[in-house]
Structure 1
């Protein structure tokens, strides 16, 4: 840090709690790239979830929306989240797991995926029955099914982004490696 006399402060040489030197803005951006991109995906899921939850909690469809539209919106949410997790599990997590235990241990992010998938399957099965007319859409039932996996979903969305954050990624990967990681 420059001071009035033109000298550079020794604070730029200080190490953080993890023993690593502070990151420049450029290096932070490189290390944080995956977290920033993942957060964008996750924000989409957060918004869609909140729309569905708010509709269910209100007990009525907003602005005269049709039941079929709500069912299709719920099915789209299930399909998109399932697809997102499939890409992570097949293409991203195996590479990260080479160095990061969070992506290979069964009790962490992968375990959360399994719990989320069980909830998604139940919700999707219910909405599919509603779509085909085998069942009538009950917003209280839809909300109950969403609530079964809502906590683990929200925890996962936050923890995954935090795990991909710059301060954690730099513990495992070099800057050069970060530039080659998929996302």
Structure 2
């Protein structure tokens, strides 16, 4: 077992794990956007479509997990964060709408340019959202106890598979 995988390490490092999840999501979104810009104009290959669907699902699980897990716990334990949590949850709805548009484009055989435009808007929103969330919540999250997947929707990526 990796030392950071112990229950006590997971519980005390929830804020750090949030940052790891955000960094992984940032990297995956950057890979998607770069794939759409690949030389030769391959555009939305089957692999790129699958990667996009997987990314959208992971991002949705993360935000759904936060809304139903960590944010509820934080609202109870740290009531002064409720306005911040409400703002972040509103962002989650905006992100969900963008993900729905991306999924619709993929299902309807949309072109790479249309998907890229949605992903560019998503990247801007997510960077602002993640930065704000990290600045406002990391310390409070690190004081929580609980399971990462239950509280944040997904587990942090395994940095050993790098």
Change (3 A) 1:95 1:57: same
> When the two structures are aligned, how many residues end up with a matched partner?
138
Question: Relative contact order (alpha carbons < 8 A, sep ≥ 6): 1 or 2 greater?
Answer: 2
Residue 164 of structure 1 and its aligned partner are, at CA, apart by 2.3
Query: Which residue of the partner structure matches residue 74 of structure 1?
Result: 52
Query: Which residue of the partner structure matches residue 18 of structure 2?
Result: 38
RMSD, aligned CA: 2.9
User: Are 1:180 and 2:145 counterparts?
Assistant: yes
Which sections of structure 2, spanning at least 5 residues, go unmatched? 1-8, 149-162
CA contact (8 A) 2:11 2:147 kept: no
Three-state SS of the structure 1 residue aligned to 2:69 is helix
Quick one: distance in 2 between partners of 1:106 and 1:39?
A: 17
TM-score (structure 2 length as normaliser): 0.71
TM-score (structure 1 length as normaliser): 0.64
Q: Which has the larger radius of gyration?
A: 1
Query: Which residue of the partner structure matches residue 118 of structure 1?
Result: 97
Quick one: distance in 1 between partners of 2:62 and 2:126?
A: 13
Query: Which residue of the partner structure matches residue 156 of structure 2?
Result: none
Change (3 A) 1:31 1:70: closer
User: Are 1:92 and 2:92 counterparts?
Assistant: no
CA contact (8 A) 2:12 2:144 kept: no
Query: Which residue of the partner structure matches residue 139 of structure 1?
Result: 112
Query: Which residue of the partner structure matches residue 36 of structure 2?
Result: 56
Change (3 A) 1:154 1:92: same
Quick one: distance in 2 between partners of 1:160 and 1:93?
A: 11
Of 96, 107, 121, the residue aligned with 1:148 is: 121
CA contact (8 A) 2:102 2:115 kept: yes
Q: Which has the higher helix share?
A: 2
